[in-house]
Structure 1
C-alpha cells in the first residue's frame, strides 16, 4: 500500500516479498489489519494540497470526542448530576429578600459555627443533612400588591415594603409557582384590587400557599412532585361576604386574622410527619421544608427513651409531641402552646392515633414562659422548639435548674453504685467465683443451694452442676 500523500515511500524491506496488486480500497478491518511499518525518519513538510481522491480510511479507531461521552450518559445519571448542583441559579436573586446565598448552598456559613457550638457542649454526633437545595419550600406567605392588570405576588425587597414579583422562585415547590400563576390570572380576570399599603385601601393583602404530599393513591416516589396546594387569602375586610371576595374565593379558602371559612375542596390538609398523620389548618404553624422536617423527626425520636413522660414546649399543633407519643410508646405527652387556634388541628390529628396507644396526650393553651417549672416538673424528657425570637429568659433559667438537679441526681447514683461495689458488689463477685469452683468439683446432677449475707444484704440461689 502506498504511503499517504506528502510522505516518502516506505524503505525496501530486507526480505523479498511477493508482489501483490495494489487494492483499490483497503481490506475490511474485521479480517485484515496492516502491520506497523518499519521505522522511518520523520520530516516536517508543508501541508499537502487537497487530494482529488479521498484518502484511505485509518485502520485504528479514532478516540471518541468528550462531547460524545456526555450525550451517552444514562438519563438517571444526567439528572442526578444536575440535581446535585449547589448553585441557586434563580433569576430573582439579588432583588428578592428570600434567599441570601447563591452558591455553595450545601455549606452555609453558619454551619461551622453550629458544629463548634454543639461540640463545645459535648454533643459529638451532630450531623448536617442538606436535603433539597431547590424546590424545597412547601409553605409560603406572599404579599399581594400592584394593580388588577399587573398584580405583584411575592416578597418585600430588602429593607423596603416594595413587593418583588417572584413567579419563577427556585426555592418554591413547583406546585406553589403554578398556584400563584392561576391566582394572578384570577385577579386580572375578576378585577380584584390588590392592597395599597400607603392608602390602606384595596381588597387582597396576602396569600398563603401550603403544599401537601399526602396522597396514598399514587406511588411514594411520585407524591412530592405531584403535591396539592391549599390556598388561603388574607382579605382587607372583616366582611368575607363582600362581592369581590365571593368571586375570587369560590374555588379556594380565605382567612381573616383568626377567623377563616372553608369554601371549596378538601377542608383539612393532611401531611405525614414522623410516622403520624397531621392535620394543619390555615391558622396553624407549619414547617416550610417538609422533607427535612420529617427526616429530623425520625432522628429526634431515637433520642427519646421508651415509656418517657414528655413535655413539648412551643408545640404548635403538636406535631412533634404526637410523633414522639406514637413512635416511643410514651406514658404521657403534654403539649404547651400559646396560639389557641392550633387546638383544633391538634385534636383532629390526635383522633387518628391508635386507640390502644396507651399514652395520655394533652394540649394546654398557655404561655410556656409563665411558670415553666410547673410544666417541667415530673417530666423525664423536655422538647423545645422555640419561636423565631428565641427562648424567654424564664424558660432558659428553668431548663438550667433541671439540668443541674439531674447532674446532682446522677452523681448521687454513681456514689451509691461505688459504695455498693465496695461491699455488696465485690462480695458477690468473690462468692460467684467460689460457686464456679464448686460446680466443677460436684458430680453431674447434683444441686447446691446457697445463702450469702454481705453487709446486711442477703442473696439466695441454686447452682446446678
Structure 2
C-alpha cells in the first residue's frame, strides 16, 4: 500500500470544533435531524427494514419504497428501525434501533466508533470482517481467477506505526486533539485510538497537558491564529525508536526549550523530535520547512531482516507485521533465482527493491520523490547492498527509455498509489516485456482495472493473495502475480 493509504489519515482529527464548513456534509450522528429553515423542506420518516447485504464500504443494503439505501453499521440479515430523511432527490439514513441483531454483531470496543468514521467494521466480529474482505476481493478478481485465503492478524489492534493527531480549540477555547469526523473538519477529541500504537497516544496526551501548562495555543482554522496544527508520530515497531513531529503554523516557537525539555522528561523513549512548519490552508499535513529539535531527525526500523531509516515525509507501510507477510508473498511470486534484473517501480525508500536484491542479480528502483530516492540510496548503503541502484524520475518513462535502448528486465514489481497506475505506465510495462509482473495494491478496485489492461496486452494473472493490512477498516491489500504469454 504505497504512500497514500487510509483516507482518514490524510487529515486526521477530533471532536466538536469545526462546523463542516468545507465539506458541507452532515456528521452521521446528525442524519435525519431537522432544524431551522431546513425543517420545512426535509421530511423524516421511520422505516422498518431488513439488510440484504453489504456495499464495498461495509454499509448495509436495504430496500425501502423501491429505493436501494445504504445504512452504516447494519449487518446482513438484521432487521432494524431507521430514520429516513428526504430532501429533494437526496435520501439519508440513520440507524435508530436493531430489532433483530446478527450473531456476528459485537459491541465496538472503541468509545468513538460512532463519531469518528476512521474504522468501519468494529461492529462485526473478526470472522465476519475476514469474510467481508475475502468476498470483496473475490468479486473484484473474479475475471482473473480465485484469490487465496486472506492473510489475517492474530491481534488486530495497536498495529499502526504512524499516527496523526489534529489540534484545535473547542467552543470554550480549550485545547483539544484527536481525529476529524468523517467528511468534516469537526475535531473529535480522542484519548486512545485502538489501532494506534499505544505509546503514540500516551505521548499525544502528554503534549495536550504541556500545551495547557505552557499556554501554547492550538491552531484555529476559522481565525488562522494559533501555533500547533498537528502532531505526527512514527514508531519503530522492532527498534522501539520514536519520532515526534510538531506541525506548526509558524516557525516562531515560544517556550521551545521548556516544551522540548518537558516532553523528553515525560517520555525518554522519544529518540527524535522535529518542528515542521505548514503555513498553507490545505489538507496536506506536513509543510516544506523542517527543523530537528532533538536527535538525528529519523528513526530506524527492521523489515524482513533489513534496516531502514524513516524520515517524517517518507512512506513506510503502517502495519509492519502484515507487511512482512505481504512482501514475503511478493518475493515468492517473483520467483527470483539470482539471475534476474528487477525493476522496483514507485520504489519509495527502497523497501521492496532492497528485499528483492537478496535474490536478484540486480535491482533498479525508480521514484518521483527526490527525498525518497535519497532515503533509498542511504538504506541501500546501510544494508550493504551492492546490486541495487535508485533513480529519481517517472517509472513509466524510465522503462520506455530502457526498451528503446534494447535493455531488458525480467521482473517488474509495482506498488502504485490508491488510484492505481495510468495507461501510460501500464503501456511502458508492456513495451519492456518483463517475464513477470508483481502488482501490490492497497486498492483492489483500481488494481482490477489495471489487470484488465495487462491481460489484454499479453499477460495472464497467475496468483492473487489478499492481505488484511488494515483490521477494523474496509481497506485491504492485494498482491497479484502476472506472467507474460508465450505467443
Answer whether TM exceeds 0.5 for this pair.
Answer: yes
Q: Which residue of 1 aligns with 2:208?
A: 184
Cα displacement string for residues 70-116 of structure 1 (whole angstroms, at most 9, x for unaligned residues)? xxxxxxxxxxxxxxx98641001011131112223442634312124
CA distance, structure 2, for counterparts of residue 297 and residue 87 of structure 1: 33
Provide the secondary structure at the position in 1 that maps to 2:220.
Answer: coil
Q: Which residue of 2 aligns with 1:322?
A: 354
Question: Structure 2 vs 1, CA of residues 288 and 410 (structure 1 numbering), >3 Å: closer, same or farther?
Answer: closer
How far apart are residue 306 of structure 1 and its match?
A: 2.2
Provide the secondary structure at the position in 1 that maps to 2:113.
Answer: coil
Question: Structure 2 vs 1, CA of residues 345 and 174 (structure 1 numbering), >3 Å: closer, same or farther?
Answer: same
> Larger Cα Rg: Structure 1 or Structure 2?
1
Higher relative contact order (Cα pairs below 8 Å, separated by 6+ residues): 2
Q: Which residue of 1 aligns with 2:420?
A: 390
Cα displacement string for residues 265-291 of structure 1 (whole angstroms, at most 9, x for unaligned residues)? 354311111221011011111221121
RMSD: 2.8
Q: Report the TM-score when normalising by structure 2.
A: 0.58
How far apart are residue 182 of structure 1 and its match?
A: 1.2
Query: Is the 1:138–1:289 Cα contact (8 Å) retained in structure 2?
Result: yes
CA distance, structure 2, for counterparts of residue 128 and residue 158 of structure 1: 28
Query: Is the 2:245–2:276 Cα contact (8 Å) retained in structure 1?
Result: yes
Q: Which residue of 2 aligns with 1:104?
A: 125
Provide the secondary structure at the position in 2 that maps to 1:262.
Answer: strand
Out of 70, 92, 105, the residue aligned to residue 112 of structure 2 is: 92
Out of 117, 132, 157, the residue aligned to residue 134 of structure 1 is: 157
Give the 5 Å matches for 1:268-417: 268-304=298-334, 305-307=336-338, 308-326=340-358, 328=359, 330-354=360-384, 359=387, 361-370=388-397, 372-374=399-401, 378-400=408-430, 402=433, 404=457, 411=486
Cα displacement string for residues 197-220 of structure 1 (whole angstroms, at most 9, x for unaligned residues)? 1112211111111111233xxxxx
CA distance, structure 2, for counterparts of residue 368 and residue 409 of structure 1: 20
Provide the secondary structure at the position in 2 that maps to 1:112.
Answer: helix
Q: Which residue of 1 aligns with 2:480?
A: none
CA distance, structure 1, for counterparts of residue 256 and residue 373 of structure 2: 27
Q: Report the TM-score when normalising by structure 1.
A: 0.60
Cα displacement string for residues 19-40 of structure 1 (whole angstroms, at most 9, x for unaligned residues)? xxxxxxxxxxxxxxxxxxxxxx
CA distance, structure 2, for counterparts of residue 345 and residue 131 of structure 1: 32
Give the 5 Å matches for 1:116-155: 116-122=139-145, 125=148, 127-146=150-169, 150-155=174-179
Q: Which residue of 1 aligns with 2:243?
A: 230
CA distance, structure 1, for counterparts of residue 393 and residue 259 of structure 2: 36
Give ranges in structure 2 of 5+ residues lacking alignment.
1-104, 265-272, 278-286, 434-453, 461-482
How far apart are residue 122 of structure 1 and its match?
A: 3.5
CA distance, structure 1, for counterparts of residue 119 and residue 157 of structure 2: 11
CA distance, structure 2, for counterparts of residue 236 and residue 321 of structure 1: 36
Query: Is the 1:203–1:236 Cα contact (8 Å) retained in structure 2?
Result: yes
Out of 247, 272, 276, the residue aligned to residue 255 of structure 1 is: 276
How far apart are residue 296 of structure 1 and its match?
A: 1.3
Q: Which residue of 1 aligns with 2:93?
A: none
